[in-house]
A and B are shown apart, each in its own frame.
Chain A
Amino acid sequence: MATQQTRSLARFMMAPSVVLLFVWMIVPLVITIWFSFQQYNPLNPIRDGFVGFSNYALFYSNPAFLQSILNTLTLVVSVLLITVIGGILLALLIDQPMWGQGIVRILVISPFFVMPPVAALVWKNMIMHPQYGVFADIARFFGAQPIDWFGQHPMLAIIIIVAWQWLPFATLILLTALQSLDGEQKEAAEMDGAGFISRFIYLTLPHMSRAITVVILIQTIFLLSVYAEILVTTNGGPGYASTNLPFLVYQKALLEFKIGQASAGGVIAVILANIVAFFAMRAVGKNLDK
């Protein structure tokens, strides 16, 4: 149906997006890969030059590397568990008939719109502060010793903050999926005497499975690169206790000026993200066919 003219016009209209994204993706990535094989220190340019894989070796052998990979995975997995399970429960709750459902929805979704530095600072200072925070007030009220969240349990503290930011997202997506469930199906199941639990397992959960997959995949993309939350709360510490891979690369590049090592770390982050992306693309791609 499309004529030659419309076809070439279509190509012409697509070109800016494709070219921009291509340049944006390829140019910096190539520079990063190039730097990962170089000794390069803007403060000490004398020893600059090609060094093969030694940046990778240095980055690997850094004890912080293993710790940061571990922290990255801990953060992603914990937040996913909290938000998916919590999101399902919350969605089920909000889906019940109630008064003021609209307002409940608005309250629950709100944290998602809070910019990461604000979320992190509010939690750090007003909620989790060992002396003046609300948690400390509660602990003292019960006669307990307030917890020094960022000193003693930095990862847990960050997990709580990040989960607070993403729980609304999971809830909203899952609630949307839940509400698209055919009411007649639910009624039929109820008539047949299916209890709440079996209705949930055999009807609701399968219906939500696609939404759950999407939530997991999209959150993973964002959770792999959590940055501002760490920057304004623990700054990666104490030691490397709450340093994730993006934060380690940032430290190497902009604080220590070890560009080669930072680039090697960046390449590793790309590989990690690609593994995740591979699965994400397949799931989203499958969707596109429908």
Chain B
Amino acid sequence: MARSVTTRHKTIATVAAWIVALLIFFPILYTIITSFKSEQEAIQGFSIIPSGTFESYSEVQAQSGYFKFFFNSVLLSVGSTILALLVAIPAAWSMAFSPTKRTKDILMWMLSTKMMPAVAVLFPIYLIFRDTGLLDSRIGLMIMLMLINLPIVVWMLYTYFREIPGEILEAARMDGASLWNEIVYVLTPMAVPGIASTMLLNIILAWNEAFWTIRLTTTEAAPLTAFISSFSSPQGLFWAKLSAASTLAIAPILIMGWFSQKQLVRGLTFGAVK
């Protein structure tokens, strides 16, 4: 008896959850479906079975050189993440293993920089970029994205590093390991999973950043966020093309995101929810 109740309960939960999940996922699904339609089909009313043409994909590349934007997105997100890691790993390491009285204050202060509204400094940044020739340059935007995400990277690494037991380091120290050896042979192997998680989350955040990437670029350094935004002007209906461009823009990050659910929770809650 109890078993049949459980099965019924499970069936109801399954049906309800799947319906809600599919509704939430629908806009993405419909975008993917539309990307395989022709332009004509795309505006002919609701249908979930496309004719299966790859026309839009090849046209997006032919007309706008899509892959340049794609390449910029990859370069900017990966580049800015590596830069951020280079700066943040030493900082997080020292805060986790030689904390001082001020460590907590410094961490909080770093987090507070994340709360400054970007728009408040839009014009100064614009001026600085213009005067230093960084406007619409990949390196400028890479630095920008690095700075934006640096607090999250430091925080996330810090919460991972803090979980590495200090006794191991002390034991290594007792054995006469130098600080350098300690880092290379003891700390690094234990820290790699945390660093990888941080990297994954940060690439996602940088890929989707849609304020500076739109405002500080025009053509050369423009990533996908800027390219997709250019579809907002209503010059005709190119929904199949828009869908193809969108699908390509979100697919890699969607797949990465699926694998990083745990890290996402941890990274974005600053270790408060695990």
Residues of B with C-beta under 8 A to A246: 117-119
- Mark interface residues in B134-155 (1 if CB within 8 Å of A CB, else 0): 0000000000000100110010
Of chain A, the residue at the smallest CB distance from B90 is A13
Instruction: Select which of B22, B127, B150 is within 8 A of A21 by beta carbon.
Output: B150
Q: Give A118-134 as 1s and 0s: 1 = Cβ < 8 Å from B's Cβ atoms.
A: 11111111110000101
Min CB distance, A87 to chain B, in Å?
A: 12
Cβ of A16 and Cβ of B90 under 8 Å apart? yes
Q: Are A232 and B246 in contact (CB under 8 A)?
A: no
Evaluate contact between A214 and B110: CB separation under 8 angstroms: no
User: Residues of B contacting A232 with CB < 8 Å?
Assistant: 228-229, 231-232
Q: A173, B273: Cβ atoms under 8 Å?
A: yes
Please tell me if the beta carbons of B24 and A108 are within 8 angstroms of each other in the complex: yes
Residue pair B261, A105 in contact (C-beta under 8 Å): yes
Knowing A18-B106, A284-B272 are in contact, say whether A111-B27 is a contact too (CB < 8 A).
yes
* Chief secondary structure at chain B's binding surface: helix
- Taking CB atoms, residues of chain A closer than 8 Å to B93 are 13
> How far apart sit A14 and B121, CA to CA, in the bound complex (Å)?
25
> Once bound together, how far apart are the Cα atoms of A259 and B125, in whole Å?
13
How many Å from the CB of A182 to the closest CB on chain B? Answer: 15
0/1 interface trace, chain A 16-38, chain B, CB 8 Å (1 if under): 11101100110111011001000
Min Cβ gap B262→A in Å is 8
Produce 1/0 per residue, A79-99, CB < 8 A to B: 000000000001001101111
Does B17 touch A at the CB level, under 8 Å?
A: yes
Contact code string A160-189 (vs B, CB < 8 Å = 1, else 0): 000010011100110011001000000000
Provide the bound-state CA to CA distance between A101 and B17, in Å. Answer: 8
Evaluate contact between A176 and B274: CB separation under 8 angstroms: yes
- Contact (Cβ within 8 A) B232 A281: no
A236 interface residue (CB < 8 Å to B)? no
Cβ contacts under 8 Å, A120 to chain B: 232
Max count, chain A CB within 10 A of own CB: residue among B34, B43, B119, B262: B119
- B120 contacts which of A173, A235, A270, A276 (Cβ < 8 Å)? A270
**Cα(A101)–Cα(B46), bound, Å:** 29
Contact call A113/B254, Cβ cutoff below 8 A: yes
Knowing A118-B249, A132-B43, A172-B265 touch, does A262 contact B24 (C-beta < 8 A)? Answer: no
Which candidate, A43-51, A58-66, A221-229, is the interface stretch facing chain B? A221-229
Residues of A contacting B4 with CB < 8 Å? none
Q: Is A112 an interface residue (CB 8 A)?
A: yes
Query: Is A205 in the interface zone, CB < 8 Å from B?
Result: no
Bound together, the chains give a CA A108 to CA B97 distance in angstroms of 38
Of B91, B115, B256, which contacts A277 at CB under 8 A? Answer: B115
Contact partner, A29, options B88, B116, B243, Cβ 8 Å:
B116
Is B156 part of the binding interface, using a Cβ–Cβ cutoff of 8 Å? no
B243-A126 in contact (CB<8A): yes
Check A210/B272 contact, CB under 8 A, given A27-B124, A164-B24.
yes
Task: Report whether A117 and B243 are in contact in the complex, using a CB–CB cutoff of 8 Å.
Answer: no
Complex: A139 Cα to B125 Cα, angstroms: 46
Q: Is the interface of A mostly helix, strand, loop or mixed?
A: helix
A285 CB–B CB distance under 8 Å: yes
Asked whether any CB of chain A lies closer than 8 Å to the CB of B264, the reply is yes
**A109-B261, A118-B250, A126-B34 are contacts. A225–B117 as well, Cβ < 8 Å?**
yes
Return the chain A residue nearest B147 by Cβ. Answer: A24
Nearest Cβ in chain A — how far from B82, in angstroms? 14
Complex interface: chain B residues within 8 A of A77 (CB) = none
- A115 contacts which of B46, B210, B237 (Cβ < 8 Å)? B210
Please tell me which stretch of B6-14, B49-57, B58-66, B185-193 contacts chain A, meaning at least 4 of its Cβ atoms lie within 8 angstroms of it: B6-14
Q: Does A250 contact B (CB under 8 A)?
A: yes
Q: Which residues of B contact A21 (CB under 8 A)?
A: 110, 113, 147, 150-151
The answer on a CB contact under 8 Å between A122 and B27 is: yes
Complex interface residues of chain A between 227 and 242 (CB less than 8 A to chain B): 227-228, 231-233, 235
Write out, one digit per residue, whether chain B residues 11-50 have a CB within 8 A of any chain A CB (1) or not (0): 0011011101110110110110010000000010110000
Whether the Cβ atoms of B27 and A123 lie closer than 8 Å is: yes
A98 and B10 within 8 A (CB): yes
Residues of A268-290 at the interface with B, using a CB-CB cut-off of 8 Å, are 269-270, 272-274, 276-277, 280-281, 284-285, 287-288
Bound together, the chains give a CA A69 to CA B231 distance in angstroms of 28
* A134 closest partner in B (C-beta): B46
Q: Could you jot down 5 A-B contacts, CB within 8 Å?
A: A7-B98, A17-B90, A25-B116, A173-B268, A288-B108
5 additional A-B pairs beyond A7-B100, A32-B121, beta carbons within 8 Å, are A9-B94, A35-B123, A93-B13, A119-B27, A173-B273
